[in-house]
Amino acid sequence: MVTFLAVGEKPNRDGVVYVAKLLKREGLVDDYTITEKPREDKIYVIGDHSGTYSILRALKPPAVLSVDAHTDLMQDYFDHASWLAYALKDRIVERASVIGAVLMIPTTERTKLWTRNVRIFPALPRTRRVRGRWRRYMNLEQHGLKVIDEARRFLGDEIYLTIDLDVLRPEYRIARFQHGELTLKDLLEILEKILRDFTIVAVDIAEVSDRVARSKLGRRAVIEVFSLIREVVS
């Protein structure tokens, strides 16, 4: 089954309803229920990315792998930009990894990224300061799919996979806010390897919004990502 989690503000909820109908029309789901409360399932489509937190609380997987243009490790208050920090802080998961992030710098002085039990693999070369020295993150541009091997070593075999569609470039126009650096081809390659290398407890596709209804590239991306997942996870 597929659970469509219509959570967040209206553009997100409308986006989830739209995607449910789209996938039904494409013959990719038989039937669907749209809900605000997660139930136990293997595949989810979510509006606001904070919905992943409530799924994690229900499923209790050991680790999370997030493919996302943002780390979602802010700590100011609970929302779509901080749910992963809360999942780690609240010990709902033990370890997490983020692949494809672009924004590495907290937006305010007050905002510090959560760093314990998490490894980040940005889309592009980025540095961070560790004990007074600048060190480079392993990243997709320089290290390619090897970042997934590294994530595998760090996370172990069993993961919950969350795919924030804002990891795609701006022209895909799926999410409400800033998009990232990947093409659909890049994303599918990454997902194919993740699906091969890990045991997937469950998976979600997140941050869909009503923008996708007006985006041909966006619809194509949703359909292809969903199809790939459905082949492997059921």
Among 6, 48, 49, 179, binds Mn ion (CB under 5 A): 49
Q: Give the residue with the Cβ less far from Mn ion, 148 or 205.
A: 205
Is 176 one of the binding residues for Mn ion (CB under 5 A)? no
Least distance between Mn ion and beta carbon 229 (Å): 17
Q: Give the residue with the Cβ less far from Mn ion, 23 or 102.
A: 102
Least distance between Mn ion and beta carbon 76 (Å): 15
Least distance between Mn ion and beta carbon 68 (Å): 4
Q: State the pairing for strand pair 95-101/63-67.
A: parallel
CB 103 within 8 A of CB 166: no
Among 164, 181, 186, 210, binds Mn ion (CB under 5 A): 164
Least distance between Mn ion and beta carbon 123 (Å): 14
Q: Give the residue with the Cβ less far from Mn ion, 21 or 78.
A: 78
Is 68 one of the binding residues for Mn ion (CB under 5 A)? yes
Is 210 one of the binding residues for Mn ion (CB under 5 A)? no
Least distance between Mn ion and beta carbon 165 (Å): 9
Binding site residues, Mn ion, CB under 5 A: 49, 68, 72, 164
